[in-house]
Structure 1
Amino acid sequence: MFTITPKLPSRQNLIGRFSMYMTVENNQGRSTIKWKTEPHLQSNIELYKSRHKKFASLFNQEDNGRGLVQFWIDMAFKDLPPKEEWEPENRVQKAWKHLTVYCEESCYWAAEKLSSDIWKEDKYQSWEEYLFFARCLIYDDTKFRHILAKYNSKNSSLDTYVTAVLIKDIKNEAAVAKFSKWRLLHKKSDKELKEALSRAGSYEPEISRFLLARKYFKQVYQMNKIQNPAKRTGQKWQEPDSADFAEAANYYNAQMLLPSAPHEVATGLNVTGEQLRASMEICIKALQNYPKSITPRISLEALQEKAYEAEPDNNYLEILECDLLEESIVEDSENQVSLNKQTESTLHEQLLSLKGEQQEILLLYYGLGLNQKQIADKFKVTQGAIAHRLKTIELKLLKTLSALSQPPEWVSQYVALWLFRNYQAPIYSDLIHDALVKAIKKLEPQEQEVLRLAYGQKLDGQKIANQLGVSQPELMDTLRKTKSKLEAALIKEIDNLINKYLQIWLPKISKAVVKSAYKNLGISRSEAASLETMNAVLEESLKILHSSKS
């Protein structure tokens, strides 16, 4: 729908014109435009202003910044003037960024011109859509380079030239039906939408719910509008109607509790067609305001604002040191660091407490890489005996780790705290969080529903009991049993992680000791390992092991 174009505030000075980008915000139902500083661009200008005499003099010219524009154009296209030692290595890339943010105003004036003069009668278009498309053009490196390559400073200012080019390009795109907010919503990837929503201030679990809602809206919109036989080729993407949103909402509600649905979605409520429409408008707004790479990737502000969801880390050693052996107060980072050190120290003490023969077996097996048959030949025993001794050593160390982590003592409190704080938006980089989410997926439907109402919707016990048609004692019994299942699943997962931790720690410490032994003896590992050499390395490794501290 056609909306009034908000007033464009001025950037304070020439530095701002080359270091500030535009944001569109909604203030009490009305759009407002604000400028935000890109810190690394501002500091780059300050650097040149303090070190480059010609550049500094351009700020005193009364040419409305045309000299500065030409300075950055020469650097961007020709890498001129010759680079000095104090200049950044990526000065050409920075020059392009300065020119890009400078042209933000041209995007605004192109959008304002199109919305007020050309398509004012088109109720389905708004200046925000034109602004979005214009910004996409200048933030696309290839297209922006093509635009500036044809610029002649003798004919017009850069502002006037870029504005005219943007108006022409947008009109051409609109003529072939490529320009529509519904096409934008349909074509953008989940990754781009997720980034846009994050930059717009959305968080989990809302982002996951938006993504799933968009998935089913796309399916309905594809069938009802895009592939509709009544739609002519080249016709603009149609406005979805209430029936489309209602149908998409039905799909969303039917799928949200399936095992394949994201956990964040399963914790929410059913949605209506109007609620889904509102969600899609939020997605569109986010995409329009933040096209891909709308700010430089190395922006400090962008890095602080991004909320990318980390993929689970397969490096169990690092994860366990950070996440596994924590006490009930998870936030106490000082206690966590102390516990990590205690883990290493305790394991090392247990290693030193082993019998001499047991230490030799560990160093031969994990450090020197001998197989069980080779070790058995050295000690003149059977391979089964060596396998049994290795298992005995590992079990002793596992008991040490289990006693240190004390899972039964903190798991119950951890599960209760996790349900209260992280049930709706778990942290998938944390293996314990991930284990709890998987355990929830395996619960009975009624148990999942109880958790969803109690921790997802934060309803009190009486409301939940009434909604499920059970008594409060029955509800509390179900909740208790459900928590017990989660605790049991978590303890089992911790046992698995502890075992994996040990399987990483033993080779790590053994190989480090053997490596030091080779170095002390001046022997290369690539040399043929005779029995005499192996015995020398083993003897030196035992000395290092007993002289080292954790």
Structure 2
Amino acid sequence: MHPRQSLIEIFSTFAQFEAEQFSRWVTDLRLRRSMQNCLERGWQADSSENFWWLYWYKVWQSQPAPKKKDDLNKSRARSHLTAYLQEACYWAAQKAIANFSKTQYTLPDCFQVAIAQIEKVLKGFSPDRGFNLKNYASVIFANVIRENLRQRQEIDICTPWALLRKLSQKRLVESLEAIGLTSDAIARYLLAWKCFKMLYVPSIGETSTRQLNQPDRPTWEAIASLYNKECSPSELEGTPETLEQWLLDCAKAARSYLYPTLTSINAPTPGQESGELQDYLPATESESLLADAIAAQEERTRLSQQTQLNEILSAALTGMDAEAQQLLQLYYGRGLKQQEIAEQLETKQYAVSRRLAKARQSLLLTLARWSQEQLHISLASDVLDNISKVLEEWLSTRYSQTNS
């Protein structure tokens, strides 16, 4: 993948794949015109990449007024940010493919799985924390792909009988509803599944629950007998062969529901000589209940992390000696300069500077370790710089609250 150079390319082109590899950058003319218009309005001076991703993020983040134009602006900003994060998504997908060598997923598959979670990236990101959007997106994309591949691999290596034993009743019902079965049919399949789980006990010799063998004939007859005993009188009696087929149908429905087949938006339109599926995607977007649930969960996660961060830094601050706490109080709480602090404590300015730096370094180390262990953030130089900014903000807020 060759990197994009100009701002217009970075915010208006998308990766296209051929033969399971990156092929070229494809330009979205609508987004290209949008960026050109912005730059032609006299914004050429703001030519940094960071300025523009932050600008479009603020547009996306703003609550739209009840006007169609505002919704279009929000949608356009989302598209610009999706274009911007193409490289981050690509490298996350490529790394995942290398780590999961046995997966049936291809590079385009992983890319599509990750980029579909762009809303999760945007909703979870907060520029106030000082982190870079690309770095944050890379972590989220990698986690999404890794979790999907792990679970998919688990599903793929399970035999139908192992999958049925692992499956919950809720998931089974959802799977059967997804293929359009009636409530009566679902009730029959559900009863057959319950009889199967009750009577089919893996033998002691089967060490792996993922590779369970098919039940033997006596077990099928026992399952059929229990099913016929439990079903309503109006139901037809189930034979061992019928119940076996029903359960295989259940396993197939569960696989399809939990991990549907991926279809690239760059795939040719069925029955057409030209055009792609993405040409027929609706322009409007709608939020789903699942998206609302994800957003609520992410908000709870952010609040929990903020609480943990405050507790950890507060404990580290309390563990410092009295002199260090006094210096931090004078510097952040009262807003004194280092020379003013030195005069008040009757010491040298360089001694105050050295002692403040040591106190900050101790807190920064605590914060960096927490970020690495809890948020799984690699401590690159730019990340450490962002963490340092977060610490400065926390100290300012902490001591301003103390003095208020």
TM-score band, normalised by shorter chain: 0.3 to 0.5
TM-score normalised by structure 2 residue count: 0.37
The structure with the largest alpha-carbon Rg is 1
TM-score normalised by structure 1 residue count: 0.28
